[in-house]
A and B are shown apart, each in its own frame.
Chain A
Amino acid sequence: MAEEYAGPIIQMRHVDKHFGQLHVLKDINLEVAKGEVVVLIGPSGSGKSTLCRTINRLETIDSGEILFQGVKLPEEGKELAALRAEIGMVFQSFNLFAHKTILDNVTMGPVEVLHRPRKEAEAEAMELLARVGVAEQAAKVPAQLSGGQQQRVAIARSLAMHPKAMLFDEPTSALDPEMINEVLDVMVELARQGMTMVVVTHEMNFARRVANRVVFMADGQIVEQNTPDEFFDHPQSERAKDFLDSIKGH
C-alpha cells in the first residue's frame, strides 16, 4: 500500500500552466524524494507560489501530470480532499481560522476530516502546540498572537494531519525580522525529523542548513538546481547570478 511506496513522493512531469495569456509554468519537471527538503527560489512573479499550489491542486494545470506517492492527483471531490489531507500547506499570511481558538484551529482537521475523537485530537494538538512553543496560547484566538506565533500554529495545524509532505509558500515573508527565526527553527527541526518539504523562501541560511537541493525558477521555468552550497557559491546561469546579487544587496 501507500505506506510501502518507496519512489519519489512528488513527481511533476512536463507541467504547463497559464493564467489567461500569461504562461506561468513552462514544462516543469521536478521530483521530490521521501525526506527531501527542496527550496524553491527565484524572482517575484517567477511562478514559485503557483508551482507549490499545483502540488495540492489549489491550482489546476493545463497539461503534464503531477503524481503524489506515485498516484496521479485526483481531479476533485472526496479523493481530492483526501489527497489534500496528506499534504500540509503553510501560507505566507498564516490563514488561521479567525473565529476559532488556537486549539480549535489545530483540532479542526483531525476531528472533521480524520474523524478522531475530540479528546484525543486535543491532547495531540496540545503536544504539537508545545512542540512549536505556543502551548500557553491555546485558548486565545489568532488575532491575539504575534505573526511568528500564528505561523507556528499554522505549522502545528498542518502537522496535526500527519502529512506525508509539506509545502511552505514564503512562510517568513510576512514576519517582522525578529520573528523569522522562531519559525525557521521549527522548520529546521521538522526537516531534521525527516519531513519531506518544498519550501519557497529567500532565507539563504535556512537553505544552506537544511535543503538537500535548491531549485531556481525564473519566468515560469526551472533554470537550474543544485545543492545549496553549490548554488549559492557558484550559480551557473546569468539569471541566478543577477538574482543572488539582488537579494544579497539587502
Chain B
Amino acid sequence: MGVAEVFTEFGDIYLQSVLSTWLMTAVCFAGGLLLGIVATVMRVSPLKPLRVVGDVYVQLFRNIPTVSLLVIFVYALPYLGATLPYRTCLIACVILIVSAFASENFMSGINAIGVGQIEAARSIGLSFTQIIRHVVIPQSLRTTVLPMTNLLIATLLTTAMGSQVPLKPPELTGMVNYVNSRSVAGISAFVVSAICYAGTSVVLGFLGNLLDKKVRIIR
C-alpha cells in the first residue's frame, strides 16, 4: 500500500487524528504555559518555601521521561483511587513536563530583564504582583518567543506518547498502528504521519519567527 492509498482509504480518520494531535498540542501547550508561569512566579517570589517548591517542581518534571510519568498516571494512580481517562492522563503528563521547560524558558527571559527595571518598578510603588504582571511576565513572554516555539514543537512531538495508550480517535503516531493493524501499509503509514508532524512543525516555526520579529523587545 502506497502513501496515496493510505490517504484514500484512511483519509477521514487521518484527518481526525491530525486534528486530535493539534488539539492536544494546543491544550498541552496552553496548560503548560499557564502552569509554567505559576511555577516561575513561585521561583522568583520573596518567600523561600515557595521558591523551593517551585524549584523542586521544575527539577522533577524536567528530568522525568514522559513515558515514566504516563505509566504512573495510567497504572499507579488507580491504586490511589483515581482512574482517569487515557486522554486525560496523557494531557496531564504532557502539561506537567511542558510547564517545567516553559518555566526554564521564563527564567532565562527574566534574567534578561535586569534587576534595575525591577528596582525602578519597586521605587514607583508597584507591588510584587504588579511587578510580575506589568514588567516580568510581559517582558519574559516577549523575549522567549523563539524558545517557546521550540517548546511548542516539542509538545507536538511529545503527544506521540498517545500511541502508548488507546485513544479514540488516535493521534498521529497511534494512527500508524491503527492503519497497520487493518491493512498492510508498511512504511507508508509512518511516512504520512511524519509528513503531518513535519508540516506542522515547519508552519509553527515560521509563525514563531514572525511573532518574534513583531514582539521582540529592542534593548
Chain B minimum-CB-distance residue to A104: B134
Contact of B219 among A93, A98, A108, A161 (CB under 8 A): A98
Whether A178 is near chain B, meaning CB under 8 Å from some CB there, is no
Contact with B along A75-116 (1 / 0, CB 8 A): 000100111111111010111111100000000110011000
Which residues from chain A contact B111 at a C-beta distance below 8 Å?
Answer: none
Chain A minimum-CB-distance residue to B138: A99
Closest CB-CB distance, B140 to chain A, in whole Å?
10
Contact with A along B108-150 (1 / 0, CB 8 A): 0000011011011111111100100011001100100000000
Closest CB-CB distance, A174 to chain B, in whole Å?
11
Contact B116 A95, beta carbon cutoff 8 Å: yes
**C-alpha spacing A91/B113, complex, angstroms:** 16
Chain A minimum-CB-distance residue to B114: A95
Contact A91 B120, beta carbon cutoff 8 Å: yes
Most B CB atoms within 10 A — which of A81, A141, A144, A154? Answer: A81
Chain B minimum-CB-distance residue to A113: B125
Contact B125 A154, beta carbon cutoff 8 Å: no
Whether B80 is near chain A, meaning CB under 8 Å from some CB there, is no
Chain A minimum-CB-distance residue to B135: A97
Hey, which bits of chain A sit against chain B, CB under 8 A? Answer: 56, 58, 78, 81-89, 91, 93-99, 108-109, 112-113, 141, 143-144, 154, 157-158, 161
Contact A84 B134, beta carbon cutoff 8 Å: no
Which residues from chain B contact A161 at a C-beta distance below 8 Å?
Answer: 124-125
Which residues from chain B contact A99 at a C-beta distance below 8 Å?
Answer: 135, 138-139, 142, 217
Contact B120 A81, beta carbon cutoff 8 Å: no
Hey, which bits of chain B sit against chain A, CB under 8 A? Answer: 113-114, 116-117, 119-127, 130, 134-135, 138-139, 142, 217-219
Which residues from chain A contact B121 at a C-beta distance below 8 Å?
Answer: 97, 108
Contact B120 A56, beta carbon cutoff 8 Å: no
Which residues from chain B contact A81 at a C-beta distance below 8 Å?
Answer: 122, 125-127
Most A CB atoms within 10 A — which of B123, B126, B134, B135? Answer: B123
Most B CB atoms within 10 A — which of A58, A86, A108? Answer: A108
Contact A78 B127, beta carbon cutoff 8 Å: yes
Contact A87 B219, beta carbon cutoff 8 Å: no
Closest CB-CB distance, B68 to chain A, in whole Å?
39
Which residues from chain B contact A108 at a C-beta distance below 8 Å?
Answer: 121, 124, 126, 134
The 11 sampled A-B contact pairs (Cβ below 8 Å) are: A82-B125, A84-B124, A88-B123, A89-B120, A95-B119, A97-B139, A99-B139, A108-B124, A108-B134, A113-B126, A161-B125
Closest CB-CB distance, A54 to chain B, in whole Å?
13
Which residues from chain A contact B130 at a C-beta distance below 8 Å?
Answer: 112-113
**C-alpha spacing A56/B119, complex, angstroms:** 11
Contact B218 A143, beta carbon cutoff 8 Å: yes
Contact A141 B218, beta carbon cutoff 8 Å: yes
**C-alpha spacing A89/B119, complex, angstroms:** 9
Closest CB-CB distance, B169 to chain A, in whole Å?
41
**C-alpha spacing A81/B127, complex, angstroms:** 6
Contact B120 A58, beta carbon cutoff 8 Å: no
Closest CB-CB distance, A146 to chain B, in whole Å?
14
Closest CB-CB distance, B55 to chain A, in whole Å?
23
Contact A95 B125, beta carbon cutoff 8 Å: no
Q: Which 4 A-B pairs give the minimum distances between C-beta atoms?
A: A85-B125, A109-B124, A95-B120, A95-B116
